[in-house]
Structure 1
Amino acid sequence: MEPDASRTDFRGRSMRQSNGWQGRDTLLAAHGKQRGDPMRGAKAITTAIEANQPPLHFVIGGDTFDLIRKKVANMQQDLDT
């Protein structure tokens, strides 16, 4: 499974207890603004695992989908070269 950032508490209350690492403030500032909807993500996961043929690779969310598309395009370019 390849999930993207969803609006959960992962970047919220639990992050406030972690001090002293680079990037913490950036993640805290993004809390609650993530594109991913956790309820839609959970529904998609349930649908996928209940499918007769579950997908080998399961991408959730536009951010992750865009990153994977870019990676695949780069790999295709490398193969063509």
Structure 2
Amino acid sequence: MQCAGCHGDTYGVFSDVPTQLLNVARIPGLRFVEPFDPQGSYLWHKLAGTHREVGGTGGRMPQGGPFLTEAELDLMELWILQGAAPLDEFVD
């Protein structure tokens, strides 16, 4: 995707980010990534541009675009639906 350019230094080894993001609350009642539930995942809303509808702030990610394509959003949704496993375990 297009995350590592901004988030790589913040989170260290970028391939470990999904594990670090699980169960990290960002807004009341909504976790950053809720395994098996894209609509319950703030990350999904930030990428889809629906974050303000669920009480989020800021802009859509990636900041300044280009935003994810429908195919990339579908892949992110599938990853969350399959349990948000670490990227090296993800099978499409």
TM bucket (normalised to shorter chain) is under 0.3
Pick 1 or 2: higher relative contact order, CA cutoff 8 A, min separation 6: 1
- Provide TM-score, normalisation by structure 1: 0.26
Higher helix share: 1
